[in-house]
Amino acid sequence: GVKSVSHDLEQLNRLLHMVKSLVQNPYLYLGSYVRSLVSSVMYCILEPLAASINPLNDHWTLRDYAALLLSHIFWTHGDLVSGLYRQILVSLQKVLSDP
């Protein structure tokens, strides 16, 4: 999964671009896969990436792109998955309220 490549920003960047391609493809029905895609994108936004230890790696660009992609997924596929808004909101609240 996405956790196995958290040390490689290039791999994570490729993953996000692949997710974007899947989401934008009008010929694919992603209904049952949207939650998994959202979980992977949320991981890139919220989790401390092993690659962020190296100051040469710009993990903020990856996080910004993942946040934009999450927004796009929500607005284009949010009506396909029951409770997607709640899943995203709870995940964000959990991180923001962590002391």
**What pTM was computed for the model?**
0.83
Task: Give pLDDT, residue 58.
Answer: 76
Question: What confidence tens digit (pLDDT) does each residue in 19-49 have?
Answer: 999 999 999 998 889 999 999 999 888 887 6
CA distances to 50, 54, 75, 90, 98 from 2, in Å = 12, 19, 23, 20, 23
